[in-house]
Structure 1
Amino acid sequence: MAKYSRIIAQAGCHIHHAEPAQVYEAWTNPELMKTWMFLSGESRESEAKADVTEGGAWSVVNESQEETYRAYGEYLKIDPPERIEKTLVRKETGGQNEKIKVEINSILNGSQVIVTQDVVFLHHEQLHPKTVEEHLREQRRQTEKYWHEMFSLLSKQLTPS
């Protein structure tokens, strides 16, 4: 039988020369979302949808030669341009909701973005607790690394050339 364990991952970045309203727009405008959110290096085609209202749905689909990646969820709290809270569902979580909180702060020469994610790790209930802890630490590390990769793409979209 499957069991779910959770861990909190957090990542942040400084996006130079982008005001919080621009960063917020990149998180909520589907045309911008598909240029950086949940992309892999081999993504060929992306689509995104967003009903940016509390209770509204959002989704991102990225296709590569190897697979189609889908992420979707519901907006829980919208406080433009400073905060977005939403759920995240992906196949790796077996349909379990993760929560993502995005905080956007104005700082000197740009914006600071902090993402906190409630990461779900799906495992067999008989897995040894030490092994679960190791996997959770690795999940946190991988999630934080992935957010930093997305921040790099986001920054490229928002920083003038």
Structure 2
Amino acid sequence: MAKYSRIIAQAGCHIHHAEPAQVYEAWTNPELMKTWMFPSGGEKEADAEADVSEGGAWSIVNESEDEAYRAYGKYLEINPPERIKKTLVRKETGGQDEKITVEINSILNGSQLIVTQDVVFLHHEQLAEKVVEEHLREERLRTEKYWHEMFSLLSKQLTPS
């Protein structure tokens, strides 16, 4: 039988020369979302949708030759341009919601972006606690690395040439 364990991942960055409103727009405008949310890319242009209201749905799909990656959820809290809280569902979580909080702060020469994610790890209930803890640590590190890759793309998108 499947069991779920959770761990918190957190990543942040400084986006130079971008005001919080610009960063917020990149998180909520589907045309901008699909330009930076997939560091690994895909053969086709990503597709994104967003009903940016509390309870509104969002989704993003990126297709490669092998598979289509889909992430979706609902907005839980919208506080432009400082905060977005939403759920995230992806196939790796077996349909379990993860929570993502996006905090955008104005700082000298740009914005500070901090993302906190409640990461779900799906595993067999017989798996030893020590093994689960190691998998959770690896999942946290992988998630934080992925966020940093996305931040790099976001920064390139928002920083003037």
The TM-score by the shorter chain falls in which range? Answer: over 0.9
- Equivalent residue pairs, number: 161
SS at match of 2:46: strand
| Residues 4-29 of structure 1, C-alpha deviations (whole Å, 9 max, x = no match) | 00000000000000000000000000
Residue of structure 1 equivalent to 2:120? 120
TM-score by length of 2: 0.98
8 Å contact from structure 1 (residues 39, 62) kept in 2: no
Matches within 5 A, 1:1-161: 1-161=1-161
For structure 2, the 5+ residue unaligned runs are: none
Once the two structures are aligned, what percentage of the paired residues are identical?
84
8 Å contact from structure 1 (residues 45, 64) kept in 2: no
Structure 1 runs of 4+ with >4 Å offset: none
Q: Distance in 2 between matches of 1:38 and 1:123?
A: 25
8 Å contact from structure 1 (residues 38, 60) kept in 2: no
Q: Distance in 1 between matches of 2:156 and 2:16?
A: 10
Q: Distance in 2 between matches of 1:108 and 1:59?
A: 32
For structure 1, the 5+ residue unaligned runs are: none
TM-score by length of 1: 0.98
Query: By how many angstroms is 1:67 displaced?
Result: 1.4
CA distance 1:110–1:54, shift in 2 (3 Å): same
Coordinate RMSD, CA, aligned: 0.8
